[in-house]
Structure 1
Amino acid sequence: MFLALFLINMLVILFAVLIHHETLYALAKFLPRLPVSRHRVLFALIGVLLAHVAEIWLFAITYYFLNAMDGFGVLSGNFSNTLLDCAYFSFTVYTSLGFGDVVPLGDLRFLSGLESLVGLVMIAWSASFMYMEMQKNW
């Protein structure tokens, strides 16, 4: 069970990083083609936010399936076993907001800890990218 959980966690992190990398790479290639420089920052911000949302939903779907399976732990508290509740939990964990009304028990605690770390790194990466775009275009 430990090996399966480890592999699932690593795959989710890998996919989240790939989503972010490919989004930033595509934006870096696309943005210089826009004729108005102030629109470049706007499109960059929208693209970065969409990447974060996709990563959060990736974690939410993982929580949803792991919560439904035996042996991986559960989400408890103000939680009704829906995908939307998993997305809410994922948004609060990814952003390190952590309201605490939904709590992971068992092995899901490891994924939620990793998601917080991934969210911190991806948000910092996005901030760095946006800073560079603003320096170039403003």
Structure 2
Amino acid sequence: MYEVVYASVVSLIMVLATVMLHYWTLASLSGLLKRWKSFRGEILVVVIVMFAAHMVEITLYAWVYLLLDVGDTAMSIGGAVNGSFLDHLYFSAACYTSLGLGDLFPVGTLRLIAGVEALNGLILITWSASFAFLVMQRRWRF
């Protein structure tokens, strides 16, 4: 029971942290775009900045997985994992993008955090896509 509460609290903290990071990234980007009157390469800047924000968010989850992967059945990552940060980063990217390859998989209550990351990633990726669409719609005239 303790592990479920712990995983729920960690999930909530991660959602709040990544949503706030994403909000401030897009708000700052929006302010920057308002100052640029006619810059055709702005969509490139938007995509690069959003990609960087997603990578930071994925990395934050990877650190959480690395810290919580205790190697037992209560909370760990199973599969062909050697315990390196790269394994946790790869697992986080697979969860965040909802790719879910299956060669690495969460065990125990880490499944809750991985599931929340997938939902969180889906929401943040669609938020980015909506932002990019609005930028293109307002600024690009064909």
- Measured against the shorter chain, the TM-score band is over 0.9
Task: Give me the whole-angstrom Cα distance separating, in 1, the residues matched to 2:70 and 2:62.
Answer: 12
Unaligned 5+ segments in structure 1 are none
Corresponding pairs, count: 138
The normalised TM-score by structure 2 is 0.91
Considering only aligned residues, what root-mean-square deviation do their CA atoms show, in Å? Answer: 1.5
Task: Give me the whole-angstrom Cα distance separating, in 1, the residues matched to 2:24 and 2:72.
Answer: 34
Q: Secondary structure at the match of 1:104?
A: strand
Q: What is the aligned partner in structure 2 of residue 63 from structure 1?
A: 65
2:130 paired with 1:128: yes
CA contact (8 A) 2:71 2:77 kept: no
Q: What is the aligned partner in structure 1 of residue 88 from structure 2?
A: 86
Identity of aligned residues (%): 37
Task: Give me the whole-angstrom Cα distance separating, in 2, the residues matched to 1:19 and 1:56.
Answer: 12
Task: Give me the whole-angstrom Cα distance separating, in 1, the residues matched to 2:6 and 2:92.
Answer: 21
> Of Structure 1 and Structure 2, which has the larger fraction of its residues in helix?
1
Q: Secondary structure at the match of 1:38?
A: coil
Q: What is the aligned partner in structure 1 of residue 79 from structure 2?
A: 77
Unaligned 5+ segments in structure 2 are none
